[in-house]
Amino acid sequence: MSEDQRITKCAIYPAIGISRIGNAPNDNYYLAPEIPGKPAKVTNGYKDREGKVKKQVARFRIYGLTEDGTVVRELTADEAQIEWRVHVANRKAAWYQFNNALDIEGLGIPSAFRNKDIVGEDRTKKLVIDPGSRSISGKNTQGKEYYLSGGKFFDKEVPLGEIRTDEKGRLLFFGGNGDSASYDNKPATTFANNNGWHDDVSDGPVRATVKFGNLEMEAEPAMVAVVPPNFGQGLYGVVTMYDIVIDLFYRKEWLNRPEQPDFWENIYPIFERMTQTQWVNEGFFFLFGYNSPSNLTDPVLLKTLSDPSDISKPERERLFRWFRNPEKDTDEPVDVPPFYGDAFGDYNNIAKDDLSVTSTQYYWLRKWAEGNFISKTKTLDTCQSLEEMSPPLQTEALNKAALEECLGGPFHPGIELTWPMRVASMWKAPFRLNTLPEVEEPKDNFGPLLGSKMALGSGGPLQSSGPGTLTRWLGVPWQTDEASCLSGGDYNPSTYLPLPSFWAARVPNQVLSEDSYQRLSDTTLNPAQRLKHFDYRPNWLRDLGSVYQTKINNMVQKWYELGIIVKKYLSENNNKEQFLPNQVWVETDRGSFSESDPSFEQVKYAEKVAEKVIEQRPLTGPQKTSKRQRPVFGRGEV
């Protein structure tokens, strides 16, 4: 039997695709990441020449499967007829208010409707933005007939994007432009529940009919979610959405959990992502940043941490004790990771006030501390493209890359997808959500109050997904939430460090500015002067004002002018003393805000004046300039 003869059915991958909004024209976009650990590839930056943010476009593929579900190969328009069908919607304004995650046992707070004065059929007619289903087929197909237009908020048309196909007939999904507004022109006043407001994020099922040889197959459907921009390109959450769902699949025994973790695959990413948060939060920079003894990416330290022998066991056990145990009910605010939790702001001195790693991550950390782990040769960069992988590995990569890019908490409510993703009834199989029948509309009314019992029970809203059901749990509009949930210093100015943080990898707190990067790259300056610029971390939202309501409304209007944090490099000639890392993440493309920082010439002039007054002294090591030598958490453990 030939390979193609083994194909009896097909499925769409990724099973959940992530598009991101942007206000640049749709001919200037970049594709969503398709390989785990690899950021999206982009040409000439994440903004266009006019300073508008490029859209991240999800690409969907068809794979042929055997009867038992084994992946055979990708099917394209070269050998198959593929008709795609997409139906997305925005249901936020017709949904319930966000109070907190309703799956927190015993702590969920029931919610009333948003826009509760709109009643009956008008809730669907006026508040749900639904352009209806669209179909597309062929290669390189595009046009106005594939625009996702026609949906309205009250009487205002709100476009939700566009669909196209590529040169192989794969589906390309373009999301909205990032437009948010109030129908009655009232300002936003709160982080998540602004009545009368809409945005243009969306989500919904992706389906396809495939004719291949003598077969006509209905593909296993996928879901697409359109979410806010990624302002921290190449950075990841310590807990990602992939970590959340794989933990669920392991606990439900839908997948077999490896009993022995691999250091580089299961342990190192936790350390690396916590350390790399230094580029978007000053507290993480202090605790884990470059020149800190808690820099968990330092090659010398990694040599010890990746060693399973008893020699390194004391160091492994010491580091393991830092981590918050997700199974404990007690509040452990000084433990890591230093992020707010799902219940922050609703309750005091409970475990859910702070974010924990997942049960699976904690289990692997414990095994690692005990020395019960393997440490294969580090091969994180072996695959540069899907074509280098076998078809089964391609589908695994597509599923993982999409969810790995999304944050796994805190869900208050969240940035991309939120707490329903960790509820078992949402899932048909690992990585594939239950979807409503194509002819069935989602239900938006579960009574005047939605509480945990109804939300999680049979017949509730978490039994299947349809147009608009994933993003409706999030804040409206998205900009007000992102401008509200930042870091500790924003809530308590007396806090020494801006910790904990919310979503720093996607919504930065403090950053390394472009001006600072230029100065620390200047080899005519002495190391002390360059380290001064390296240590300076201004607030990312510094241009939006300090008054809360002014800030959140400025975010609605000016979100696309904010800087995007991207990786840059320092050459060996620029870094002979090794006081600085070889790669840094830098705030770029601040748009019209760029004039608010001191100019390069102003800084250089000030430095020349300072050099005339201050006697420059040679340094013998980074410890003489780095304040980050203090014990982490004040416990004397570093």
Structure-token pair, residue 131: 């352009």
Residue type, 559: W
Listed range (178-182, 250-254, 474-478, 627-631) with the worst mean pLDDT: 627-631
Mean pLDDT of the chain: 90
- Which helix (H) or strand (E) segment is 317 a member of? helix 313-320
CA angle 169–178–42, rounded 5-degree value? 50
Tell me the mean pLDDT in the region 527-538.
Answer: 92
Span 271-298, average pLDDT: 95
| List of residues 6+ apart from 546 with CB closer than 8 A | none
Cβ contact 65:8 at 8 Å: yes
Summarised one tens digit per residue, pLDDT across range 124-167 is 999 999 999 999 999 999 999 999 999 999 999 999 999 999 99
Q: In whole angstroms, what is the distance from residue 511 CA to residue 45 CA?
A: 18
Q: Are 520 and 292 in contact (CB under 8 A)?
A: no
CA atoms of 83 and 77, how far apart (whole Å): 10
- Please report which confidence band the pLDDT of residue 240 belongs to, taking 50, 70 and 90 as the band edges: very high
The pLDDT tens digits for 163-213 are: 999 999 999 999 999 999 999 999 999 999 999 999 999 999 999 999 999
Q: How confident is the model at residue 637 (pLDDT cuts 50, 70, 90)?
A: very low
* pLDDT score, position 490: 59
Amino acid 319: pLDDT:
97
Determine which helix (DSSP H) or strand (DSSP E) holds 605, and give its type and residue range. helix 600-613
How far, CA to CA in Å, does 256 sit from each of 128, 155, 308, 425? 40, 51, 23, 19
User: In the predicted model, what is the mean pLDDT of residues 558-568?
Assistant: 97
Structure tokens at 168: 């192989």
pLDDT at 458 over 90: yes
| Cα 417 to Cα 420: distance, rounded to the nearest angstrom | 8
Percent pLDDT > 70 in the chain is 89
Band the pLDDT of 317: cuts 50, 70, 90: very high
More confident residue, 634 or 370: 370
Which residues, listed in sequence order, are joined to residue 90 by a DSSP beta bridge?
Answer: 129
Least Cα distance to 538 among 193, 223, 279, 233 occurs for 279
At residue 393, the 3 state secondary structure works out as helix
pLDDT of residue 385: 86
C-beta neighbour count of 229 within 10 angstroms:
26
Burial class of residue 481 in the structure, from the number of CB atoms within 10 Å of its CB (0-12 exposed, 13-18 middle, 19+ buried): buried
Give the pLDDT score at 267.
97
